[in-house]
Amino acid sequence: MAQLWGGRFTKQTDQLVYNFNASISFDQKFFKQDIEGSIAHATMLGKAGIVTEEESANIVAGLKGIYQDVQDGKLEITSEYEDIHSFVEANLIDRIGDTGKKLHTGRSRNDQVALDMRLYVRDEIKETEELIKDLLQELLVLEKENIHTYMPGFTHLQKAQPVTFAHHIAAYFEMFKRDYSRLVDCRNRLNLCPLGSGALAGTTYPLDRELTASLLNFDGPTLNSMDSVSDRDYVIEYLNALSIIAMHLSRFSEEIIIWNSNEYQFIELDDAYSTGSSIMPQKKNPDIAELVRGKTGRVYGALMSMLTTMKGIPLAYDKDMQEDKELTFDAIDTVKGCVLLFTGMIKTMKLNKDKMEASAMKGFTNATDAADYLVKKGVPFRDAHGIIGRLVLYCINNQKSLLDLSIDEYKAIDPVFEEDVYDAISLETCVNLRNTIGAPGPDAMQKVIDINEAYLKSLN
């Protein structure tokens, strides 16, 4: 039991209490950030004359040594310490002697852990942004290659109107673009340094909070010490952004699963991204997409847990906040893993363009365009809707598509139809004429691709 406190206690901590209270099993995840924060604090203490420059340098060297030894496997983080802060401080004192006892001058574990979590979350957001960027890059490749790959667009999972594979993928591009900007927003908003807030009420030492903030690449110090030690909004914001990413990935996974099914066969997942069955030799299952879809639940769980943990705790620090870590770490690792795997999966999948196109030909995806054709011939839209409805019924009864009908069959329904109907309702026409920005037509699609290409470049 290595603790940073005990002077006012007359009894040993009960072992069960110690175990219940300890956080080292999970807060060691931000060991690196704890060292970074302590180096900045010690540097500032020296510059502000609170410890001597020599003491400051000794502390910094000691901290760097601890970091290196842990990296090299020479020093192990063990459960004999209450938390990562105790581990670092105890090892610093072992290493450099009494000077090590000065590191915690003008600091509390409350502002220390607030800082560590912020630094950790900031680093992780940056990594998530990079992964989303890679995914966007991959989506753009698919868009560029598939401007003329026709497929049915769906509403209610019923064929609705023809679109292109590029256009469908571009919908997800927009979603992940928003996800990216949510991450950036969150990272920008959290970028203030809580160090120097002490336990809750600042300190009496002449700390240079601007200096520690700038040493740690923050935009400046936080402006209220009570808020600083008890704010976990940025964790909730990040979990929210992660939940939305997970939701988008889950929707996309669902579509991949449908497209990859025996019935659709629009795509085929690569063997490297599929799994087999222990009993059915023919099976090739989309387990990765299913797992990505399934993991969404635990990410939402982390968000709900954090919102609930924070909702009733009085200012300022309360130990409840230690609960900000485990599920958050799990959600971060989960979403990062999902984005990475998902990107690999779509990069390696094969497209069955013929199947997509054949499917778009069936199912009357051109019925709206057939009605529009009649409107151009002077038929009011409501009447045109009725005529095409009768035509569709005829086709269903005779197992035909609109393009299979002879001109006589058309004219039997309404004499206004002429030979030019075939051209007017071909897949190409249906898609190519939809050229307002955001629509699947090739000119509109190309414009969007150009915009998104420039957007991606602007992120680098």
Site residues (vs ligand ARG, CB under 6 A):
23, 27, 83, 109-110, 113, 317, 319, 321-322
Between CA 39 and CA 215 the distance in angstroms is 9
Task: Give the shortest CB-348-to-ligand ARG separation in angstroms.
Answer: 41
Task: Give the shortest CB-96-to-ligand ARG separation in angstroms.
Answer: 23
Q: Under DSSP, is residue 19 helix (H, G, I), strand (E, B) or coil? A: helix
**Residue showing the smallest CB distance to ligand ARG in the complex:** 322
* Dihedral over Cα of 242, 192, 320, 84: its sign: positive
241 CB-near residues (< 8 Å, 6+ apart): 125, 128, 179, 182, 183, 186
Task: Give the shortest CB-317-to-ligand ARG separation in angstroms.
Answer: 6
Q: What single-letter DSSP state applies at residue 262? A: T
Q: Residue 326 or residue 383: which is nearer to ligand ARG going by CB?
A: 326
Q: Residue 116 or residue 372: which is nearer to ligand ARG going by CB?
A: 116
Task: Please answer whether residues 152 and 175 qualify as being in contact, where contact means their C-beta atoms are separated by less than 8 angstroms.
Answer: no
Please give the full DSSP string across 77-128, using - where no structure is assigned.
--TTBSSHHHHHHHHHHHHHGGGGGGTTTT--HHHHHHHHHHHHHHHHHHHH
For residue 210 the two structure tokens come to: 């601007």
Task: Give the shortest CB-124-to-ligand ARG separation in angstroms.
Answer: 17
Between CA 34 and CA 111 the distance in angstroms is 11
Q: Residue 27 or residue 237: which is nearer to ligand ARG going by CB?
A: 27
Between CA 378 and CA 459 the distance in angstroms is 50
Between CA 301 and CA 312 the distance in angstroms is 18
Between CA 239 and CA 300 the distance in angstroms is 8
Q: Under DSSP, is residue 196 helix (H, G, I), strand (E, B) or coil? A: coil
Q: Residue 330 or residue 409: which is nearer to ligand ARG going by CB?
A: 330
Q: Residue 91 or residue 112: which is nearer to ligand ARG going by CB?
A: 112
Q: Residue 266 or residue 317: which is nearer to ligand ARG going by CB?
A: 317
Closest CA to 99 of 160, 140, 150, 58: 58
Q: Residue 30 or residue 218: which is nearer to ligand ARG going by CB?
A: 30
For residue 431 the two structure tokens come to: 């898609």
Task: Please answer whether residues 129 and 184 qualify as being in contact, where contact means their C-beta atoms are separated by less than 8 angstroms.
Answer: yes
Question: Cα–chain-centroid distance for residue 123?
Answer: 14
CA angle 395, 161, 414 (to 5 degrees): 40
Q: Which residue has the tokens 């009908």?
A: 405
Residue 17 CB coordination number (10 Å): 10
Task: Give the shortest CB-319-to-ligand ARG separation in angstroms.
Answer: 6
Task: Give the shortest CB-113-to-ligand ARG separation in angstroms.
Answer: 4
Mind telling me the catalytic residues?
156, 277
Task: Give the shortest CB-442-to-ligand ARG separation in angstroms.
Answer: 55
Q: What single-letter DSSP state applies at residue 106? A: T
- In sequence order, the β-bridge partners of residue 275 are 285
